[in-house]
Protein backbone atom coordinates (compact mmCIF):
# COMPACT_ATOMS: atom_id res chain seq x y z
CA UNK A 1 0.00 0.00 0.00
CA UNK A 2 1.30 3.49 -0.79
CA UNK A 3 2.22 5.80 2.06
CA UNK A 4 1.92 9.59 1.90
CA UNK A 5 3.60 12.63 3.47
CA UNK A 6 2.00 16.04 2.90
CA UNK A 7 4.45 18.97 2.80
CA UNK A 8 2.28 22.08 3.20
CA UNK A 9 3.20 25.29 1.43
CA UNK A 10 3.19 27.29 4.65
CA UNK A 11 5.67 24.89 6.28
CA UNK A 12 8.37 25.51 3.66
CA UNK A 13 11.51 27.49 4.45
CA UNK A 14 11.48 31.14 3.37
CA UNK A 15 14.03 33.75 2.40
CA UNK A 16 13.50 37.40 1.46
CA UNK A 17 16.49 39.16 -0.10
CA UNK A 18 14.49 42.05 -1.52
CA UNK A 19 15.15 41.24 -5.17
CA UNK A 20 14.50 37.52 -4.43
CA UNK A 21 11.65 35.95 -2.49
CA UNK A 22 12.21 32.21 -2.20
CA UNK A 23 10.47 29.25 -0.59
CA UNK A 24 12.30 25.96 -0.01
CA UNK A 25 10.52 22.61 -0.01
CA UNK A 26 13.70 21.02 1.38
CA UNK A 27 16.63 22.28 3.44
CA UNK A 28 18.57 24.84 1.42
CA UNK A 29 21.03 27.62 2.19
CA UNK A 30 20.35 29.13 5.61
CA UNK A 31 17.14 27.11 5.99
CA UNK A 32 18.00 23.79 7.61
CA UNK A 33 15.65 21.10 8.86
CA UNK A 34 17.31 17.69 9.29
CA UNK A 35 13.92 16.02 8.82
CA UNK A 36 13.42 17.37 5.28
CA UNK A 37 16.74 17.16 3.41
CA UNK A 38 15.18 15.87 0.18
CA UNK A 39 13.30 12.86 -1.13
CA UNK A 40 15.16 10.09 -2.96
CA UNK A 41 17.21 11.74 -5.75
CA UNK A 42 15.22 14.97 -5.41
CA UNK A 43 17.34 17.38 -3.39
CA UNK A 44 15.92 20.88 -4.06
CA UNK A 45 12.62 22.45 -5.07
CA UNK A 46 12.89 26.21 -4.71
CA UNK A 47 10.01 28.44 -5.73
CA UNK A 48 11.67 31.74 -6.62
CA UNK A 49 10.21 35.15 -7.43
CA UNK A 50 12.89 37.44 -8.85
CA UNK A 51 12.20 41.15 -9.19
CA UNK A 52 12.78 42.97 -12.46
CA UNK A 53 16.50 43.46 -13.07
CA UNK A 54 17.44 41.04 -10.28
CA UNK A 55 19.26 37.75 -10.47
CA UNK A 56 22.00 35.42 -9.34
CA UNK A 57 25.51 36.60 -10.29
CA UNK A 58 28.05 34.10 -11.58
CA UNK A 59 28.56 31.19 -9.19
CA UNK A 60 29.56 27.54 -9.40
CA UNK A 61 28.00 24.09 -9.05
CA UNK A 62 29.22 20.53 -9.47
CA UNK A 63 27.73 17.03 -9.57
CA UNK A 64 24.08 18.06 -9.71
CA UNK A 65 21.32 17.93 -12.34
CA UNK A 66 19.53 21.31 -12.26
CA UNK A 67 16.17 21.79 -13.99
CA UNK A 68 14.47 25.20 -14.24
CA UNK A 69 10.73 25.48 -14.92
CA UNK A 70 9.31 28.94 -15.59
CA UNK A 71 5.78 29.83 -14.44
CA UNK A 72 5.67 33.53 -15.36
CA UNK A 73 8.15 35.95 -16.92
CA UNK A 74 11.50 35.10 -18.47
CA UNK A 75 14.96 34.16 -17.16
CA UNK A 76 18.29 34.80 -18.89
CA UNK A 77 21.05 32.20 -18.53
CA UNK A 78 24.81 32.44 -19.18
CA UNK A 79 27.44 29.83 -18.32
CA UNK A 80 31.11 28.95 -18.51
CA UNK A 81 30.65 26.42 -21.35
CA UNK A 82 29.41 29.06 -23.78
CA UNK A 83 25.62 29.00 -23.46
CA UNK A 84 24.10 32.45 -23.56
CA UNK A 85 27.34 34.05 -24.70
CA UNK A 86 25.56 35.96 -27.48
CA UNK A 87 22.97 37.93 -25.53
CA UNK A 88 21.89 35.20 -23.13
CA UNK A 89 19.77 32.06 -23.41
CA UNK A 90 16.25 33.08 -22.33
CA UNK A 91 13.79 30.61 -20.78
CA UNK A 92 10.04 31.31 -20.80
CA UNK A 93 6.85 29.55 -19.68
CA UNK A 94 6.30 26.35 -21.65
CA UNK A 95 10.04 25.66 -21.82
CA UNK A 96 12.36 23.49 -19.74
CA UNK A 97 16.06 23.99 -19.05
CA UNK A 98 18.56 21.42 -17.81
CA UNK A 99 22.08 22.17 -16.63
CA UNK A 100 24.34 19.25 -15.74
CA UNK A 101 26.94 20.64 -13.35
CA UNK A 102 29.14 17.52 -13.58
CA UNK A 103 32.82 18.21 -13.01
CA UNK A 104 32.03 21.90 -12.51
CA UNK A 105 30.23 24.77 -14.20
CA UNK A 106 29.82 28.47 -13.48
CA UNK A 107 26.66 30.31 -14.48
CA UNK A 108 24.45 33.32 -13.85
CA UNK A 109 20.66 33.61 -13.94
CA UNK A 110 18.97 37.01 -14.27
CA UNK A 111 15.44 38.23 -14.80
CA UNK A 112 15.25 39.00 -18.53
CA UNK A 113 12.96 41.98 -17.80
CA UNK A 114 14.04 45.18 -16.01
CA UNK A 115 10.53 45.64 -14.60
CA UNK A 116 8.44 42.43 -14.54
CA UNK A 117 8.85 39.68 -11.95
CA UNK A 118 9.92 36.19 -13.03
CA UNK A 119 8.37 33.27 -11.13
CA UNK A 120 10.00 29.86 -11.38
CA UNK A 121 10.71 26.48 -9.85
CA UNK A 122 14.34 25.45 -9.62
CA UNK A 123 14.91 21.73 -9.11
CA UNK A 124 18.09 19.88 -8.17
CA UNK A 125 18.44 16.14 -8.64
CA UNK A 126 21.36 13.97 -7.56
CA UNK A 127 23.07 12.48 -10.63
CA UNK A 128 23.41 8.74 -11.13
CA UNK A 129 27.09 9.24 -11.97
CA UNK A 130 29.54 11.78 -10.59
CA UNK A 131 32.18 13.54 -12.66
CA UNK A 132 30.37 13.73 -16.01
CA UNK A 133 31.10 16.54 -18.46
CA UNK A 134 29.02 19.64 -17.73
CA UNK A 135 26.18 20.29 -20.17
CA UNK A 136 23.16 22.42 -21.00
CA UNK A 137 19.86 21.81 -22.78
CA UNK A 138 16.69 23.81 -23.39
CA UNK A 139 13.46 22.47 -24.91
CA UNK A 140 9.93 23.69 -25.70
CA UNK A 141 7.18 21.57 -24.17
CA UNK A 142 4.03 20.68 -26.14
CA UNK A 143 1.34 23.41 -26.09
CA UNK A 144 -1.73 22.93 -23.91
CA UNK A 145 -5.08 23.75 -25.51
CA UNK A 146 -7.77 25.58 -23.57
CA UNK A 147 -9.83 23.14 -21.55
CA UNK A 148 -7.33 20.31 -22.03
CA UNK A 149 -5.96 18.00 -19.34
CA UNK A 150 -2.68 16.31 -20.22
CA UNK A 151 0.64 14.85 -19.03
CA UNK A 152 3.93 15.82 -20.71
CA UNK A 153 7.45 14.69 -19.86
CA UNK A 154 9.65 17.62 -18.81
CA UNK A 155 12.85 15.70 -18.05
CA UNK A 156 13.92 12.05 -18.15
CA UNK A 157 17.02 9.89 -18.77
CA UNK A 158 15.61 8.88 -22.18
CA UNK A 159 13.63 12.02 -22.92
CA UNK A 160 11.32 12.62 -25.88
CA UNK A 161 12.19 15.37 -28.35
CA UNK A 162 10.18 17.96 -26.41
CA UNK A 163 11.86 17.26 -23.04
CA UNK A 164 15.34 17.64 -21.58
CA UNK A 165 17.61 14.69 -20.82
CA UNK A 166 18.79 14.26 -17.22
CA UNK A 167 21.54 12.05 -15.83
CA UNK A 168 19.52 10.84 -12.84
CA UNK A 169 17.30 7.83 -12.09
CA UNK A 170 14.21 10.03 -12.12
CA UNK A 171 11.75 11.70 -14.43
CA UNK A 172 9.65 14.86 -14.21
CA UNK A 173 6.21 15.14 -15.79
CA UNK A 174 4.04 18.25 -16.14
CA UNK A 175 0.42 17.61 -15.23
CA UNK A 176 -2.07 20.21 -16.46
CA UNK A 177 -5.68 19.71 -15.42
CA UNK A 178 -8.58 21.75 -16.75
CA UNK A 179 -11.40 22.57 -14.30
CA UNK A 180 -13.08 19.28 -13.51
CA UNK A 181 -10.23 17.35 -15.14
CA UNK A 182 -8.77 14.01 -14.05
CA UNK A 183 -5.64 12.11 -15.05
CA UNK A 184 -3.76 8.99 -14.04
CA UNK A 185 0.00 9.53 -13.76
CA UNK A 186 2.03 6.30 -14.01
CA UNK A 187 4.92 5.85 -11.56
CA UNK A 188 7.49 3.31 -12.76
CA UNK A 189 10.26 3.73 -10.16
CA UNK A 190 8.18 3.15 -7.03
CA UNK A 191 8.25 6.60 -5.45
CA UNK A 192 6.75 9.97 -6.34
CA UNK A 193 6.75 13.60 -5.33
CA UNK A 194 3.98 15.94 -6.53
CA UNK A 195 4.60 19.70 -6.43
CA UNK A 196 1.59 21.93 -7.10
CA UNK A 197 2.63 24.94 -9.18
CA UNK A 198 -0.82 26.50 -9.69
CA UNK A 199 -4.35 25.91 -8.53
CA UNK A 200 -5.54 23.07 -6.33
CA UNK A 201 -5.22 19.35 -6.86
CA UNK A 202 -6.41 16.10 -5.28
CA UNK A 203 -3.85 13.26 -5.44
CA UNK A 204 -5.11 9.83 -4.39
CA UNK A 205 -7.68 11.59 -2.20
CA UNK A 206 -5.17 14.05 -0.64
CA UNK A 207 -6.16 17.68 -1.18
CA UNK A 208 -3.25 19.95 -2.14
CA UNK A 209 -3.08 23.68 -2.80
CA UNK A 210 -0.54 25.84 -4.66
CA UNK A 211 2.93 25.34 -3.16
CA UNK A 212 2.10 22.05 -1.45
CA UNK A 213 4.11 18.90 -2.04
CA UNK A 214 3.20 15.25 -1.53
CA UNK A 215 5.71 12.43 -1.09
CA UNK A 216 4.41 8.97 -2.03
CA UNK A 217 6.20 5.69 -1.37
CA UNK A 218 5.34 2.35 -3.00
CA UNK A 219 3.37 3.96 -5.82
CA UNK A 220 2.53 2.55 -9.25
CA UNK A 221 0.17 5.33 -10.40
CA UNK A 222 -1.35 8.51 -9.01
CA UNK A 223 -4.97 9.57 -9.49
CA UNK A 224 -5.04 13.34 -10.12
CA UNK A 225 -8.21 15.43 -10.06
CA UNK A 226 -8.92 19.17 -9.91
CA UNK A 227 -12.20 21.03 -9.55
CA UNK A 228 -10.81 24.47 -10.41
CA UNK A 229 -7.82 23.56 -12.62
CA UNK A 230 -4.19 22.94 -11.71
CA UNK A 231 -0.63 22.69 -12.92
CA UNK A 232 1.79 20.40 -11.11
CA UNK A 233 5.08 18.62 -11.53
CA UNK A 234 5.10 14.87 -10.86
CA UNK A 235 8.49 13.35 -10.01
CA UNK A 236 9.00 9.60 -10.58
CA UNK A 237 11.87 8.58 -8.30
CA UNK A 238 13.83 5.39 -7.67
Q: What is the pLDDT of residues 113-131, one digit of tens each?
A: 999 999 999 999 999 999 9
> What is the distance of C-alpha 23 from the center of its chain?
13
CATH topology of domain 13-140: Jelly Rolls (2.60.120)
Q: Where are the domains of the chain?
A: 13-140, 150-237
CATH code, residues 150-237: 2.60.120.10
pLDDT, residue 85, reads 63
pLDDT band per the 50, 70, 90 thresholds, residue 86? low
Beta bridge partners of 222: 185
Matching fold, domains 13-140 and 150-237? yes
Question: How many CB atoms lie under 10 A from the CB of residue 95?
Answer: 19
pLDDT, residue 11, reads 98
pLDDT band per the 50, 70, 90 thresholds, residue 109? very high
Question: What's the mean per-residue pLDDT of the chain?
Answer: 96
Q: Residue 107: which residues within 8 A CB-CB, separation 6 or more?
A: 58, 59, 61, 77, 78, 79, 80, 99
Amino acid sequence: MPSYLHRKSEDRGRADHGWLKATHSFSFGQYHDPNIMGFRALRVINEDRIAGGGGFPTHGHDNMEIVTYILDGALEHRDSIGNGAEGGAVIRPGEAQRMSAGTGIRHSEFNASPTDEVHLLQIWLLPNQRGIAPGYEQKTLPPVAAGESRLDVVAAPAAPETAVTIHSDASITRAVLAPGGALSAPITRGNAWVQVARGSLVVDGHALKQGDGLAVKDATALALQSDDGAEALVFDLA
